Amino acid sequence: MRNLLLAGCIGAAAAFAMTAASASENLQKMSQNPKDWVMPAGNYANQRYSELKQINTGNVGKLQVAWTFSTGVLRGHEGGPLVIGNVMYVHGPFPNPVFALDLDHDGKILWKYEPRQDPNVIPVMCCDTVNRGLAYDNGKIFLHQADTTLVALDAKTGKVLWQVKDGDPKKGETGTSAPLVVKGKVLIGISGGEFGVHCRVTAYDENSGKMVWKAFSEGPDDQILIDPQKTTDLGKPVGKDSSLKTWKGDQWKIGGGCTWGWISYDPELDLVYYGSGNPSTWNPLQRPGDNKWSMTVFARNPDTGMAKWVYQMTPHDEWDYDGVNEMILADIDVGGKERKVLVHFDRNGFGYTLDRGTGELLVADKYDPKVNWATGIDLKTGKPKRVAKYSTEKGGENHNTKGICPAALGSKDEQPAAYSPQTHLFYVPTNHVCMDYEPFRVSYTAGQPYVGATLSMYPPEGDSNMGNFIAWDAAKGKIVWSDAEQFSVWSGALATAGGVVFYGTLEGYLKAVDAKTGKELYKFKTPSGIIGNVMTYEHKGKQYVAVLSGVGGWAGIGLAAGLTDPHAGLGAVGGYAALKNYTSLGGQLTVFALPGS
């Protein structure tokens, strides 16, 4: 009997392993069908690139709005829809409704799911009540709710298949990021860097919701799933207690390093990639040391969570330069050699190109020339060359350091960049914003803000534009072209085989530009400011481009939450005050296509 049971278990495990493997293969394969848009970033490489080319540089000027849809929710709409076959899945910010829309009938609602969530989660969401999107696999839609609940819904009916609570909003733990499904596991991060959350990425079995592994950003090796000998940092083993050694006392337990950015995956190397956020608190004097592994790129095995390599962009952060921004995977020529790289536009204003197999640092340069807190990155040590006058801790607590570029929301924040294999360029929505930063002493209380700094934000001296949309050569570390925008470009980019790149603006324009030159080819004023990510799909032989409007997010928090104190919203309210002259709250999907049937 025992043997039989055991055999049965092995059989089940083997069957599961196969299912898992095929699930991953299936998603990878599905992402290669340009008619669908099966994951928020379009593909595992996070390239936000589509092979569709019916809309091209010659005809994009004739683009029209094909149909529209209101989510019924106001405040910031980050993320974007998925399309699988004839169905589009649209999500919204808190209370996180999910809609399945029938593409055969102008977006008729096939089903709607709206979780019941305690509204007390709203005050612990630092930067608006955003949600960055859904994941799909094997007939299931996965929603990561504001209250950290991960829900699996039947993609056909919207019925709840299982749900699991990932964190506790009472401690300031919230869910804002999109899940990524890899090999039958749903990976999610967590938000709460302004509440002293001890952050991690967790993998759940897609069929049962059971936890498979959990990897913290800071703490003992067995909690951060780092092997002191095998896990490397710029090619060298990290050694024992690589995180603990860089924190004073137990500060790491409330050390942030949150994980609310995008996750990417290389099926060939079998590694997932993501970044960790700021160390808590924002007052650097309260946490001496490098604060590892906050501000770090992690390359982890998706089955076990074990880290293959790590790289910390901003040791001992003094500016809230979270490392959460997405890792875009591409194969490009660097110095005459085809390299499998990972490209990352960090909040700190540097664009990094690393070998994604080894973590070797190949290129690191400013993608906004006004970045001034560091003069460059030492490619050997990986460390930034800091400029003393922009240190926020040198002057001690309650000293206001002025003119630091970029501001805390970085030269880029969560708004994802795109990569075109046609042009070999990266298209990056950026913030062109500087700040004054004054750290102050703060004590930790679970669920209370644990920020410890007062900020003001404004455009760089001499500039009136608060954003640029740029094309970046990641092999050379150079800006190829740059389009100035009045406000930060807080929308995710889309690159297409039609030679057109799309992005949205905080005033509400969807813009299409020439991928080679940046020349504006089309713009349209959508109902509200755009912080959503542009996507494209094909339905009945026609290419569509879609984007969520709904001003908000960190840059738009003043409008979204009705704040007027210029220092509120972690310093963003004053900087973006003029936004109210251009747009108003909303929550709409706008779908574009060329004229004719």
Torsion, Cα of 546, 547, 548, 551 (10° steps): -160
**65 scored as a contact of its own copies (CB under 8 A):** yes
Residue 109 within binding range of its own copies, rule CB under 8 A: yes
Q: Which of residues 144-173 bind its own copies (CB under 8 A)?
A: none
Nearest-approach distance from CB 596 to its own copies, in angstroms? 10
- Please classify residue 336 by burial: count the beta carbons closer than 10 Å to its beta carbon, then call 0-12 exposed, 13-18 middle and 19+ buried: exposed
- Of 484, 494, 444, 446, give the one whose Cα is nearest residue 464: 484
Does the footprint of its own copies cover residue 104 (CB under 8 A)?
no
Catalytic annotation on 463?
Answer: no
For the bound state, the minimum distance from the C-beta of residue 83 to its own copies, rounded and expressed in Å, comes to 17
Query: Which one of residues 207, 354, 549, 573 is an interface residue with its own copies (CB under 8 A)?
Result: 549
Three-class SS state of 2: helix
Q: Which of 19, 22, 68, 454 binds its own copies (CB under 8 A)?
A: 68
Query: Does 67 contact its own copies by CB under 8 A?
Result: yes
Catalytic residue among 36, 128, 233, 320: 320
Position 70 contacts its own copies (CB under 8 A):
yes
SS (H, E, C) 369-407: CCCCCEEEECCCCCCEEECHHHCCCCCCCCCCEEEECCC
Per-residue CA distances from 451 to 85, 252, 279 (Å):
44, 15, 10
Q: State the Cα–Cα distance between residues 500 and 147, nearest whole angstrom.
A: 38
Distances (CA, A) of 513 to 57, 522, 575: 8, 7, 27
Query: Considering only residues 11, 72, 228, 239, which one is a binding residue for its own copies as defined by CB under 8 A?
Result: 72
Task: Compute CA distances 15 → 161, 205, 410, whole Å.
Answer: 20, 14, 45
Taking residues 571 to 590 in sequence order and writing x for each that binds its own copies by CB under 8 A, - otherwise, the string is: ---------xxxxxxxxxxx
Residues 28 and 506: beta-carbon distance below 8 Å: no
Closer residue to its own copies, CB minimum distance, 17 or 109: 109
Q: Is 86 in the site for its own copies (CB under 8 A)?
A: no
Count of residues touching its own copies (by CB under 8 A): 37
Shortest distance (Å) from residue 497 CB to its own copies: 25
Residue from the set 37, 44, 69, 373 that interacts with its own copies by CB under 8 A = 69
Nearer to its own copies, 87 or 453 (CB): 87
Residues between 324 and 343 with contacts to its own copies, criterion CB under 8 A:
none
394 part of the interface to its own copies, by CB under 8 A: no
The owner of tokens 């930060």 is 488
Contact segment (CB under 8 A) with its own copies among 58-66, 213-221, 295-303, 384-392 equals: 58-66
465 touches its own copies (CB under 8 A): no
**Cβ 56 to its own copies shortest distance, Å:** 18
How many Cβ atoms are within 10 Å of 584's Cβ, its own excluded?
Answer: 13
Tokens of 1: 């009997």
- Least distance from C-beta 121 to its own copies, angstroms? 19
Candidate segments 65-73, 269-277, 348-356, 536-544, binder of its own copies by CB under 8 A: 65-73
Rounded-to-10 torsion of CA 383, 389, 393, 397: -170
564 binds its own copies (CB under 8 A): no
Beta strand pairing call for 425-431 and 418-420: antiparallel
Rg (CA), the chain: 22
Amino acid, single-letter form, for residue 475:
A
Query: What residue ranges bind its own copies (CB under 8 A)?
Result: 62, 64-65, 67-72, 74, 97, 99, 106-109, 112, 508-509, 524-528, 549, 580-590, 595
Which residues form the catalytic set?
A: 320
